[in-house]
Amino acid sequence: MLDRIIAGAVPAVRAAPLSRRGFLKLSAGAAGGLMLGAALPVGRAAAEGAAEGLATPFVHIRPDNRVVVIVKHLDKGQGTATGLATLVAEELDADAAQVTTEFAPANTALYANTLMGVQGTGGSTAMANSWQQYREAGATARAMLVAAAAETWGVDPAVVTVAGGRVSAGNNSATFGDLAEAAARQTVPGEVTLKSPDQWVYIGKSFPRVDVTRKTEGSTGMFGMDARIEGMVHAVSLRSPRFGGTLATLDDSAARAMPGVIDVIRLPDRATVIAETTWAAIRARDALVAEWDFSAAENRGTEELRAEYAALLDREGTQFHAAEPTGREAAQVIEADYFFPYLAHAPMEPIDVTVRLDGTAATFWTGSQIQTLDQNIGAQVLGIAPEAVTINTLWGGGSFGRRAIYDSHYVAEAAMVAKAWLDAHGEARPIKLVWTREDDIRGGYYRPMHMHRVRAGLDAEGNIAFWQHRVVGQGIMLGTAFEPFAVKDGVDSSSVEGLGESSPYAIPGWTADVHHPRVGVPVLWWRSVGHTHTAYVVETMMDELAQAAGADPVEFRLRYLADPRARGVLEMAADKAGALPEGLTRGIAVHKSFGSYVAEVADVRMREDGKVKVVRVTCAVDCGVPINPSNIRAQIEGGLGYGLSAILREEITLTEGEVDQSNFYDYTPLRITDMPEVEVHILPSTQAPTGIGEPGTPPIGPAVANAVRRATGQAVRELPFSRHGLA
C-alpha cells in the first residue's frame, strides 16, 4: 500500500527538476540570487521576531540584537548551520556571539538548493550552492543597516562603518538591534559589494559552532527524537521481515490488552501500535502475531544474489566509458574481482517523525533532509494541498543519506497512520512515529551491494596499456521518480561515479560497462554513494599496477593525474606524512568526489593476532575556499572514520530475503580503539567552495587496503576486512 501511495505522488515530485541523490547533475531549477525582501514573513522564525526588526528570508535582525540566520539546509551534525552563519556574519560584520540560527520552513520558491532545484540537503552541496547566496544576504542586511544609520543620524552613508556587531559614524554608535526597525523600512538594494578575501574576518579563519551549547546542555526538542507536543501519542510499526511482503493475518488481542496501548492500526503492509509511550508501543508491537504473504517479496539471500552478480561479470554490460586504445602490447596483466556488501547508514538517531492532522492541514516535525519531497508526498498521502502541509525541520542526529529519501517513506507512513487515526477517533492528536534501531537496520534502506571486475595491463616500460572495468550493482535511481534525470542510456550514475570521465585519472585504454540487476532490496545513497566502491577498486588496482611496474606509488599515480588539484593533494599528503615509522606499513589513495579532492596516507601495524591497526592517517584536502577550517578538519575526520568503519567489519547480509543483522552488536561500527590519529592539511584555494561532508570517506578504504597488501602480500578485494580475519 505504501508503495502505491508513494507511486501516486510521483507526478507532484516530477514537477520539480530533481535528479540523483546529491542530484548534482540536475539543472539549477532555482535562481541563486538574493531572494531578499524587507519584512518578508517566513514561518516560525518571522513569527518569533514579531512585526519588529529586519526580517528577510535568510537574515532576521531583531530588536534584542540577535542576528538569526535562516538555514535552508538540514544540519545533521555536518556543520551546515555554522557554515551558513559564518557567511552571513562575515558580510554583515556581526559579532559571532550575537548570531544564532533557525531552520527555514518548507518553501521551495524561497529556499531551493540551487544545485538541485528543490529544497534539500545532499551530495555535499550545502556550501557550494549557498556560498554566494548567503554572503549576498549578509551584505544586503548590512547595507540596510547602514542606510538606516545614515538616515537616523543625518550623515552620509559613506562615513558609516560596521564592525563587531556595531554601526558607527563619528560620535554616533548603535547596535544592530537599535537600528533593526529603521532598517526594515529601507529599500532593499539591487546590488551589493562583497568583501575581498583580504578583508575576511571569519571565512577561512574561525567561527564558533552554533550548536555546541544546545547539544551540550541537551536542549529540549532539538532533535526529532526529543519532540514533545502537547497531547502526543506514540507509534511503532510491525513491518514485513522481507522486503515487499504483505500482511496476511493479524492477531492483535494480546497487544491491545497491554498497559498504555490505545489502538492498533492495520494497513495492508504493516500494523501500527498507538500507545501512551514509545516503550509501551514497542512492547505491544512485539506482542502482535502476524502471518505474512511473501509471494511478491524479495526472497533471495546474499549468496543467491552474489551468484547472480558473478554470472553478470562474465557478460558484457552497458558501456559508459571508452578511451582510445593505446595500441601498446601488455607485458603484464592483473585481473581482479571485487565484492562490496550492502551497508546500513546506522545514524545514532534512528528514523522518527511526529505528525498532527486535523483533517484540512497537517504539521510534521522531523529532521527533514528534502523538505520539498516530504511536503509533496505528505500532501499526496493525506489528499490535501502541499501548502496545507507544514514541515518543521529539526536537527538530525546523523543521516549519512538515510533522511534524504526519494520516496519520503517514513513521512508517508506517518501520514497514513495519522489519517487512519483521525478516521477512527475523530480527534486531532500529534502522533510520534519511531523506528527502533532494529527496525532501521533490518528494514532498509542500504548502500547497494556491488561487484567489480578489472583487467589491466602494463607494457614493457611499466605504463598502463589498457584497463577493462565492469560493474554490477543496483541502480539507486532506477524505478524511482528520478530515473529520467539520473539514468542516461541505461546507466545509473550513482553506481559508476568516480569512474571514467568523473575520475581524476586519465587512464590509457580505459573501457567500462555496467549491469543493473533488479533486486527487491531497497537501496539508497550512502555517504559518498558510488565513490565508496569505485574509489576502492581504482586505488587498489593502481597500487597493484605501481608495484608490478616497480614504481613508487605516488609517482605512478602522478603519471595519470592530469588535474592539478588532484596532483596537489596527493603531493601534499605524501610530503606531510613524512618518514615511515619503524614497524609500520604505508598505503596511499587519492580521489575526487563532490567537486573536492582528498588524498590520504594510512600508516598501519599488523598485530600479532593478524588484525590490522590503523595508527595514523595523513590527509590533504582541496575543497575550494575553506569557509571554516576547523569544520573541514572535523568532517574529514568523521568521513574517514565512517569509511574505516565500513571496511573493517560492517556488512548487511540476507538469508531467504531477511536481513541477518539488527543492532550494533552484529552490525559492528567503528570503536574508539579503532580510530587512528588523524592529521588534516587544507590546501589554500581561491576556487568556490565544494563539498566536504562526504569526500573524506572514499580514500580511506583503499589507503588501508594498500598498506595491508604491502605488509602481508594479501590483496583485500572482498569487504569487510573481518571476512579475512583482519579486523
What is the mean pLDDT of each successive set of 10 residues along the chain, which is 727 residues long?
39 30 25 29 35 86 97 97 98 98 97 94 96 97 98 98 98 98 95 97 97 88 93 98 97 98 95 98 98 98 98 98 95 98 97 96 98 97 98 97 95 98 96 98 95 98 98 95 89 97 96 98 97 98 98 98 97 98 98 98 97 98 98 98 98 98 97 97 97 97 98 98 98
And the C-alpha cell for 538? Answer: 581504482
Distance of CA 418 to the CA centre of its chain: 28
Note whether 317 and 366 are same-domain residues: no
The residue from 375, 399, 434 where one domain ends is 434
Number of compact structural domains in the chain: 3
pLDDT in tens, 75-85: 999 999 999 99
Q: What are phi and psi of 405, to 5 degrees?
A: -95, 125
Q: What is the CATH number of the domain that holds 535?
A: 3.30.365.10
Q: Is residue 10 part of a domain?
A: no
Cell output for 437: 534501531
In a domain, 459, yes or no: yes
pLDDT in tens, 561-615: 999 999 999 999 999 999 999 999 999 999 999 999 999 999 999 999 999 999 9
Nearest alpha carbon to residue 45 among 372, 403, 393: 393
Cα–Cα distance measured from residue 701 to residue 645, given in angstroms and rounded to the nearest whole number = 9
- Label residues 81-112 b or e (16+ Cβ within 10 Å = b): bbbbbbbbbbbbbbbbebbbbbbbbbbbebbb
Which residues are 450's β-sheet partners? Answer: 340, 473
355 and 484 share a domain?
no
pTM: 0.93
In this prediction, residue 19 carries a pLDDT of 30
Is 244 in the same domain as 185?
no
Does 417 map to a domain? yes
Mark which of 217, 244, 271 sits at the end of a domain: 217
Cα-based distances in Å from 421 to 115, 263, 416: 38, 9, 9
- Rounded CA separation 114/29 (Å): 6
47 and 145 in a single domain? The answer is yes
Nearest to 703 by CA among 540, 468, 526: 540
Whether residue 154 sits in one domain with residue 63: yes
**pLDDT in the model for residue 160:** 98
Helix ranges, 459-577 (H): 483-486, 493-496, 531-548, 553-560, 564-577
**Same domain assignment for residues 158 and 202:** yes
* Domain end residue (candidates: 202, 217, 232): 217
- Asked if residue 17 is part of any domain, the answer here is no
Pick from 495, 515, 514, 500: nearest CA to 467: 500
C-alpha cell of residue 68:
538569526
The domain in which residue 706 lies consists of 302-342+445-724
The amino acid sitting at 679 is E
Do 372 and 236 fall within a single domain?
yes
In a domain, 26, yes or no: no
CA atoms within 13 A on the CB side of 676: 28
Are 418 and 455 within one domain?
no
- Nearest CA among 602, 618, 636 for reference residue 709: 602
Per-chain mean pLDDT for the chain: 92
Q: What is the DSSP letter of 65?
A: S
* 445 preceded by a cis bond (ω within 30 of 0): yes
Contact 102, 46 (CB under 8 A): no
Nearest-5° Cα angle at 422, 416 to 424: 100
| Separation CA 535–CA 557 (nearest Å) | 13
Does residue 476 sit in the same domain as residue 575?
yes
The label of the residue with cell 554583515 reads: 92
Within this chain, do residues 307 and 410 fall inside the same structural domain, yes or no? no
Which amino acid would we find at residue 157? P
Residue 27, φ and ψ in degrees, nearest 5: -70, 150
Burial of 38 (0-12, 13-18, 19+ CB in 10 A): middle
Same domain as 396, residue 463: no
Cα angle, residue 261 at apex, residues 256 and 262 outer, rounded to 5°: 95
Q: Are residues 150 and 234 in the same domain?
A: no
| Strands 352-357, 362-366: pairing kind | antiparallel
Coil/strand/helix, residue 503: coil
- Tell me the backbone φ, ψ of residue 31, rounded to 5 degrees: -70, 150
Cis peptide before 720 (omega within 30 of 0): yes
Q: Is 74 left (phi over 0), alpha (psi -120 to 50) or beta?
A: beta
Q: Which are the contacts of 365, defined by CB distance < 8 A and separation ≥ 6?
A: 224, 227, 229, 353, 354, 355, 392, 394
Q: Is residue 22 part of a domain?
A: no
- 495 part of a folded domain: yes
* Helix spans in 599-658 (H): 629-648
- Residue 235 included in any domain: yes
Distance CA 669, CA 91 (A): 41
